[in-house]
Structure 1
Amino acid sequence: MKTINIAIDGPAGAGKSTIAKMVSKEMGYIYVDTGALYRTIALFITENNIADKDIESSLEKADVSLKFIDGAQRVFLGSRDVSDLIRTPEISMAASRTSAIPEVRAYLFETQQKIARENNVIMDGRDIGTVVLPNADVKIFLTASAEERANRRYKELLEKPDCPTYQEILDDIIKRDYQDMHRKTAPLKQAEDAVLVDTTKLNLEESAAAIVKVIKDKIG
């Protein structure tokens, strides 16, 4: 039986993970956060102080895996659940750099494709529709203005004692956008056959509804 694959790409802070989770729950698909895989590799490299020249030879020791526990995706580094550890600003920036390394992308490529071959999935990332799942049944490019993405992130972090300023978050997002769009390997871009969904003026529920509509219009 053929599986159905939904690819959602877009820049950092566009709400891909949150929205994709909502949509996958409504549609009964498995949600795959590929960014979590790259963040986990970045955590592994950071924790072990691995130099760039040694990354390729060290990857097999990383032992990165996804597990679906009570319907939710959890990310493991060896036997450790690192799902929360990989969400810091430091690891976010490290992941942007790490994901540009061809050897890292090759290492994680088969993991992502295997999950998609075996399940109905909604998979989000930077190059899902262009590289990982070029034959996906539905491709969506989810975005929002840099200012709105920074505003959302600022509100999320506001209660934390070490919350960065809005300007720091905006600068960080603009820098990461540039890194993701200009890397040599699998740069962030909208696939030619992807549907553009801009959530700048939409809340989470409206954004999820817009994605569900695109999917249902495409596959019925």
Structure 2
Amino acid sequence: MHKINIAIDGPASSGKSTIAKIIAKDFGFVYTDTGAMYRGVTYLAIKHQVSFLDETALIELIENYPITFKQTDWGQAVLIQGEDVTQALRQPEVTNHVSEVSALPGVRDHLVKVQQKIAASGGVVMDGRDIGTTVLPQAEVKIFLVASASERAKRRYKENQDKGIKSNYNTLKKEIEQRDYTDSHRETSPLKQAKDASLVDTTGFSIDEVVATVESIVKEKMGEVK
């Protein structure tokens, strides 16, 4: 039986990656973090001193430095030429510029093709901002996670604290609001809820509560496609 694909979209720090990883593990699916791919390109641009707006040079970086994933005991690691860059991709400089890079049509086209190839056999949980609308429009299950900007800023602040990264709550909130605007107003594949996606507001809810809600939706959809 063909395994379904699950698309999870939403704005920055809405809980996409956390929820997607748990869902993938619980259902025995493969998790693909598309956001890490765009962060990887942004990281490469910083490392090689390439302008965030130089589309041609950025595409060359994608072709010359393939971004791959590896499962480890503690989760999924992101590798570039064998180097584990998982933590480096979460640095503020990368976070603050990834929207610029991801807004470039050529960059998106290249990475979307890679993402679609990964999901071709089914059994994939993929999270991002345009999975249900652009990358996997035929996904059997589509979830759109949202949360208030203040809630998401608190989550990002705590995440940074846990990783030893210094940050300011008010600054994070402004950055998240700016990212929301940039992501939802870009010309190529803007952030928006797919018409057939289930909306889940995670504000004030624990991870376990959100997982339970999403998994009930997945199980219901799986019953429909059998």
TM-score range, shorter chain: over 0.9
CA contact (8 A) 1:32 1:73 kept: no
- Cα distance change, pair 162–59 in 1 and its aligned pair in 2 (3 A): closer
Q: What letter matches 1:90 in structure 2?
A: E
May I ask how many residue pairs the two structures share in their alignment?
A: 220
Q: 1:156 to 1:15 in 2, by over 3 A?
A: same
1:161–1:9 distance in 2 versus 1, CA, 3 Å: closer
CA contact (8 A) 2:9 2:144 kept: yes
The runs of 5 or more residues in structure 2 that have no matched partner are none
Stretch deviating more after TM superposition (154-163 or 103-112): 154-163
- Whether 2:66 is the aligned partner of 1:63: answer yes
Q: Does 1:28 align with 2:61?
A: no
Deviation string, structure 1 residues 105-131 (Cα, Å, up to 9, x no partner): 111112111111124011000000000
**TM alignment of 1:96-107, pairs within 5 A:** 96-107=99-110
TM-score under structure 1 length normalisation: 0.93
Q: Give the drift of 1:59.
A: 3.1
2:203 to 195, 200, 203: 200
Aligned CA RMSD, in angstroms, stands at 1.7
How do residues 149-168 of structure 1 correspond to structure 2 at under 5 angstroms?
149-158=152-161, 163-168=166-171
| Cα 1:179/1:4, change in 2 over 3 Å | same
Q: How far is 1:159 from its partner?
A: 5.5
1:4 aligns with 2:4: yes
Amino acid in structure 2 at the alignment position of 1:3: K
Are the structure 2 counterparts of residues 59 and 161 from structure 1 closer, same or farther at C-alpha, using a change threshold of 3 Å? closer
Over 3 Å counting, the alpha-carbon distance change for 1:2 and 1:101 in structure 2 is: same
1:206 is paired with a residue whose SS is helix
Q: String of CA shifts for 1:31-55, please: whole Å, max 9, x gaps.
A: 1111011100110111101133332
Structure 1 position 99, deviation (Å): 0.6
- CA drift of 1:85 comes to 1.0
The letter of the residue matching 1:16 is K
Letter in 2 for 1:102: P
Contact 1:20-1:122 at 8 Å conserved across structures: yes
Whole-Å separation in 1 of the counterparts to 2:162 and 2:143: 32
Partners of 2:13 and 2:110 in 1: CA distance: 25
**Structure 1 residue 23: Cα displacement:** 1.4
Counterpart residue number, 1:17: 17
Counterpart residue identity of residue 66, structure 1: F
Q: Distance in 1 between matches of 2:27 and 2:165?
A: 37
User: Is the partner of 1:135 in helix, strand or coil?
Assistant: coil
Contact 2:3 2:122 in 1 (8 A): yes
Q: What TM-score, normalized to structure 2?
A: 0.91
1:191 counterpart = 2:194? yes
95-104 or 149-158: which moved more?
Answer: 149-158
Per-residue CA deviation, residues 137-164 of structure 1 (Å, 9 max, x unaligned), is 0001011111111112222233566522
Please list the CA deviations of residues 51-79 of structure 1 after superposition, one character each: whole Å capped at 9, or x if unmatched: 33332344321222223345943221112
Whichever residue aligns with residue 126 of structure 2, its letter is M
Structure 1 ranges of 4+ moved more than 6 A: none
Question: Residues 215 and 65 of structure 1: is their aligned pair in 2 closer, same or farther, counting only changes over 3 Å?
Answer: same
Query: What is aligned with 1:75?
Result: 78
